[in-house]
């Protein structure tokens, strides 16, 4: 059993966590704290990188101290220090990574530079110890919408990505159009519950396309036109948007399941995986394909440090660690061999 301190600061959540466990064994989140910056960014309707970096710099160190205190631990009790080293907003990533380097140096413990996307991708293994490689993963967040074949730590095959907006971004922008404020995803989901999706006809971009990829820009624009027409209730637009998103996800996943070969499970991760309608639809798809469906609990879906600690722990078990001069990376694809696709975002 090993204990890893995880640090996350790549977007607008400052987070620290202590995870203890072993691959193939039990695992426990000993303590975790998340300081959300939602209030600081709300007036701007989105994350302002400069404000985010400053807030991480102010909050991170006391947050780590408090997390250690929650678990009744000191750095001496930790086996390694893992921090998000990218992809993400570079100012914030640097705050987290440099803090981790300093702690690693002061405590003489290994440093593990974690890819934020790998944190999301492996988070289902933190909550479900029986989840084995290879699994088919839908990774849906504010900056990414990808289907990945997860074959092991650091071993990813990207089967599909978005050619324009990420799904979380489409949720956030559609929510803004409907006057729901920031962050929009959860608010749009709440409003959609009161609406009737059949009352508004919205497009399903790339549905049935021989290409494997996603596209959400056209759907987002259609939401804007529906709102501007003044003909529809906001709740119906929200419900129709969410249904169109679900239909696109299912269609692209069906295609990916055909090309992926044998997989142990259908898995979803990333902030948008907190959406209940999407989770329910994916569960149905998995059942139809005779596959288990695995989704981390809601609080492990959105950005958190427990997933970074867990990804660090898996790397540590493989004997991996990183030198103190490792660089922060604003861009860091999980599958470097995948061809670049127009518009794929940097935010995770
Ligand atoms: O992974 P994440 O916490 O942050 C990064 O993007 O790195 O994902 C945040 C995204 C946001 O776009 C947010 O609106 C979306 O996840 N999200 C949701 C829900 N909860 C969060 N989207 C739809 N339904 C939700 N319940
Ligand atoms: Zn994320």
Q: Is any ligand 1 atom within 6 A of the Cβ of residue 156?
A: no
**In Å, what is the CA distance from 223 to each residue of 45, 164, 208, 228, 328?**
18, 16, 21, 9, 37
What's the CA gap between 150 and 115, in Å, rounded?
14
For ligand 1, what atom is nearest to the CA of residue 169? 12
Helix (H), strand (E) at residue 6: strand 2-8
Average pLDDT over residues 132-137: 98
Average pLDDT over residues 151-177: 96
Backbone phi, psi, residue 80, to 5°: -165, 160
> For residue 7, what is the DSSP state?
E
Q: At CB < 8 A and 24+ separation, what contacts does 209-213 make?
A: 212/147, 212/159, 212/160, 212/252, 212/255, 212/256, 212/259, 213/160, 213/161, 213/162, 213/163, 213/252, 213/341
Q: How far is the CA of 104 from the centre of ligand 1 (A)?
A: 31
Residue nearest to atom 13 of ligand 1 (CA): 185
Say whether 203 sits in a helix, a strand or coil: coil
Q: Is any ligand 1 atom within 6 A of the Cβ of residue 142?
A: yes
- The yes-or-no verdict on residue 15 having pLDDT over 60 is yes
What is this structure's pTM? 0.94
Tell me the percentage of the chain whose pLDDT exceeds 70: 98
Q: For the chain, how big is the Rg over CA atoms in Å?
A: 20
Could you report the per-residue pLDDT of 202-223, keeping only the tens digit for each?
999 999 999 999 999 999 999 9
For ligand 1, what atom is nearest to the CA of residue 303? 3
Helix (H), strand (E) at residue 157: strand 155-160
What's the CA gap between 127 and 299, in Å, rounded?
11
> For residue 270, what is the DSSP state?
S
- Domains of the chain are 2-124+299-347 (3.30.420.40), 133-295 (3.30.420.40)
Q: Check residue 14 and give its pLDDT.
A: 97
């Amino acid at each position: 059993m090993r204990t890893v301190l995880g640090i996350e600061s790549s977007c607008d959540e400052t987070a620290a966590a202590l995870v203890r466990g072993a691959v193939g064994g039990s695992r426990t989140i000993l303590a975790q704290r998340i300081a959300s910056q939602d209030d600081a960014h709300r007036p701007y309707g989105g994350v302002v990188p400069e404000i985010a970096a400053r807030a991480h710099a102010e909050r991170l160190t006391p947050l780590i101290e408090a997390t250690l205190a929650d678990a009744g631990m000191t750095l001496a009790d930790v086996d390694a220090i893992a921090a998000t080293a990218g992809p993400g907003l570079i100012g914030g990533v640097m705050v987290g990574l440099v803090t981790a380097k300093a702690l690693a140096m002061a405590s003489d413990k290994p440093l593990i530079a974690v890819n934020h996307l790998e944190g999301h991708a492996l988070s289902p293994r933190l909550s479900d110890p029986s989840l084995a490689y290879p699994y088919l993963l839908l990774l849906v967040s504010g900056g990414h919408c990808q289907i990945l074949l997860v074959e092991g730590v650091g071993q990813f095959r990207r089967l599909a990505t978005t050619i324009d907006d990420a799904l979380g971004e489409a949720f956030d922008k559609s929510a803004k159009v409907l006057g729901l404020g920031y962050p929009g995803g959860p608010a749009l989901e709440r409003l959609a519950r009161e609406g009737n999706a059949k009352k508004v006809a919205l497009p399903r971009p790339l549905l049935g396309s021989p290409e494997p990829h996603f596209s959400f820009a056209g759907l987002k624009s259609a939401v804007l036109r529906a709102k501007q027409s003044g003909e529809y209730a906001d709740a119906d637009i929200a419900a129709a948007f969410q249904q169109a998103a679900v239909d696109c996800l299912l269609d692209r996943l069906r295609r990916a399941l055909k090309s992926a070969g044998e997989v142990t499970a259908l898995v979803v991760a990333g902030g948008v995986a907190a959406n209940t309608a999407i989770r329910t639809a994916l569960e149905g798809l998995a059942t139809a394909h005779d596959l288990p469906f695995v989704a981390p609990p809601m609080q492990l879906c959105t950005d958190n440090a427990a997933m970074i600690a867990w990804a660090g722990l898996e790397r540590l078990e493989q004997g991996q660690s990183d030198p103190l001069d490792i660089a922060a990376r604003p861009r860091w694809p999980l599958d470097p061999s995948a061809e670049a696709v127009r518009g794929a975002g940097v935010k995770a």
